[in-house]
Amino acid sequence: MSQQSLPNKPLRSVEYKIVLLGESSVGKSSILERLQNNTFNEDKSSTIGAAFISKKIPINENKDLINLQIWDTAGQERFHNLTPLYYRNANCAIIVFDLINLDSFKKAEYWIDQLNNYIEEQLIGIEIILVGNKCDLINEGEECSYINIINEFISNHKEIKRYLQTSAKENINISKLFQDIIDNIDDEMFHPIEEENSKNLIDLKFKKNSYNSTSCQC
């Protein structure tokens, strides 16, 4: 997580909210662990409740700052009534399913329906990205056994902006997934960092000048 010392202060910033949805065990938390620590854990415990991660990413030679705010939700059914809380203000929803588990794809369809209802009600835009995880479990030269169902669903759902096959285990397409999101953030969403806010940013830093870190954990 540690970031290099940066030459100048960012002038513009954006808060970009991402939510991960999908059935239990498809690998949502593993994808985020790969993003955060570049590690993978075979015995990951299922998420209970939800986890919030914020990640600051400077772009354009540090002129702009993207503050990714990511909600990792629990796939376990007993938390489903809370899930709308997490996609309510999202700019982007990553719907994850397991490429070797058709039921998990049905769950992905369910979440996309839920999102569509919400988008229609609220007349807002949420970028929808579909992710088939655990592609490492598909044998070389073969396809996902229900590839036809996936393709048909995607062609009927134009609201799906992108579809990616990933592996958190083998680190396939994870950084591409987030890089694509970052690259597609609408320039109009950036706003100038006001004096007030930049003060807050500085507050979070270590105060002695010998520290180059741009963020502490809070």
Partner 1 sequence: MINYIIISSSGKPIYAFDNNNIIVYSAIIQSIVSYFTYSTSPNQLINSIKNNNSFINFAHYNPFILISISPINHHHNPSSLSILYNYLISLLSKPYIDKIFNKYPNFDFTKLLSNSDILTLNSICHDLSLNNNPIFNYNSLQTLPINYKIRSKINSKFNSLSTSNLLFGLITTSNFKLISILKNIQNSNHNLHISDLSILFKIISSSNNFKLNSQYITNETFWLPICLPKFNSNGHLYTLIQFVELNDSRYQQLHSISANNNTDKLLIILMSPFKDSFNELKKISNNLIKSLLFNKKIFNSIYNPLSINLPIPSSIISYTIKNTSLLQFIESPSNSSSSPLNFKNSTIIIENYSNYKLFACKLSNYEIYLKINSSTPESQLLPISKSILNYCISNNHHLFIQ
Ligand X SMILES: Nc1nc2c(ncn2[C@@H]2O[C@H](COP(=O)(O)OP(=O)(O)OP(=O)(O)O)[C@@H](O)[C@H]2O)c(=O)[nH]1
78 exposure class (CB count in 10 Å sphere: 0-12, 13-18, 19+): exposed
- Which residues of the chain form contacts with ligand X (CB under 6 A)? 22, 24-30, 41-42, 44, 46-47, 74-76, 133-134, 136-137, 167-169
Residue number with CB closer to ligand X (74 or 177): 74
| Contact stretch for Mg ion (CB under 5 A) within 8-16, 35-43, 47-55, 139-147 | 47-55
Q: Is 29 in the site for Mg ion (CB under 5 A)?
A: yes
Specify whether the CB–CB gap between 160 and 130 falls below 8 A. Answer: yes
d(CA 28, CA 39): 14
Q: Is 53 in the site for partner 1 (CB under 8 A)?
A: yes
Residue number with CB closer to partner 1 (16 or 150): 16
Tokens of 10: 């960012």
* Minimum CB–partner distance for residue 71 and ligand X (Å): 12
| End-to-end alpha carbon distance in the chain | 13
Residue number with CB closer to partner 1 (46 or 122): 46
Residue number with CB closer to partner 1 (94 or 130): 94
The option from Mg ion, partner 1, ligand X, none interacting with 116 (CB < 5 to 8 A, set by class) reads none
Tokens of 25: 């065990």
Among 11, 24, 101, 116, binds partner 1 (CB under 8 A): 24
Long-range Cβ pairs for the range 156-161 (8 Å, 24+): 157/112, 159/112, 159/116, 159/119, 159/128, 160/112, 160/128, 160/129, 160/130, 161/127, 161/128, 161/129
Q: Which residue type sits at 68?
A: L
Q: Is 184 in the site for partner 1 (CB under 8 A)?
A: no
What kind and span of H or E run contains 203?
A: helix 195-203
Residue number with CB closer to partner 1 (155 or 210): 210
Footprint (CB under 8 A) of partner 1, residues 72-91: 74, 76-79, 82, 85
Tell me which residues touch partner 1 (CB under 8 A): 1, 24, 36-37, 39, 41, 43-55, 74, 76-79, 82, 85, 203-204, 206-208, 210-211, 213, 216-218
